[in-house]
A and B are shown apart, each in its own frame.
Chain A
């Protein structure tokens, strides 16, 4: 679906809602990314349910705000009894549930995940107007922009270091990803993009060492979590590569979901420039 067509659709739905004379009052969100934005945009009284993930502070920045809001696990049979008047989700939300809900004549809007900072603003505006809070959306965008400006002033004039985001299983983000923009906005060159990785990819530890990044960005450790995947980011070779310096750590919930929290990730990275 082209952006224009989608705008048209949203415009139609929002105008029909406006014509009904009210903002949606029983909103259900189907994905962590729309959960978090929804929690920023509207008062909790108007939220019928968010996903379980949104209540987990390991993944969700807005977990505190979910108190008192029912959590669902994505099944249509959990959502229908909530009698939602608006359902929002990501393009990749559980497609069986989405088509089921559509067949049952529930209004479902799905959104593409933003891959650039500009798209983040667009994404925020789209959801803002879908839920009838365009002013709050603009406030969120303004906060974002000021955080990014602050971050850019922090790193202005500093040498461009080569950085890489490294996640469990050697997962890293290359070109055409929001993480790439975040890393560049914080004044780094993204090694993964320079190695030719498009979208997301996996990089073995030997390949990582060989490429010699100056900075390795890892998510903050999750408590009581251990798996083979997570052992990638604590491999002794990474520490040896960095020598005296330590890996740059940012809370995972800043950038797990592409969205306005990206600005917080940029600021956190900029503040840790050593």
Chain B
């Protein structure tokens, strides 16, 4: 499945957020959306998830304009993982993951046996099966996020859009989460993940998209995007990079002062 955005512009409360962004997500691809705070990453992700209507520009899925899909049909194709892993009531994990099946339920209908199988598989993939009887609010941050990923997987989306999923996690759970997203893409899905950890982004994403003030500054394989001059320009930092075949390591050294930035 291909998700394509063309010439997207967006203003929020009078402030320009996105300036004519073009973006394509291909099958099997995991794309890392990076950039400084306030660059417009979340806004772009919400536009791509059809949660935010852009002021202008086109959004298409498999070559068909997104408006031709019903909101229910889109729900089955695009999964969205909100920032901060929100869960407002102390729900039981099993019930929370089952919410992922909502787009598939007939009016007043209950979960079918296939629905239950999908939920079980999703929980297994996210390794939360053992937590099924626990209450979401009693879980650790890593467990909680995995439960919400399981919820998203239970919707069987082809495309996954995740907003800063690993920001609050320890390295073990960061790796676990990124592995889950990568596995989804390896199974033929695709995904966009907003993140700040450049090394994790480089390690797991096929492609990085660097945005600043609503414009895409650079995109391509991690090695091509994570260049010291670009990092200086976009983030305002002095960073060293270590490149070793396919791997790249970014080591932020210090903030640049004003004259250096100019």
Asked if the two chains touch in their complex, CB atoms less than 8 Å apart, one says: no
Residues in B lying within 8 Å of A, measured CB to CB? none
Residues in A lying within 8 Å of B, measured CB to CB? none
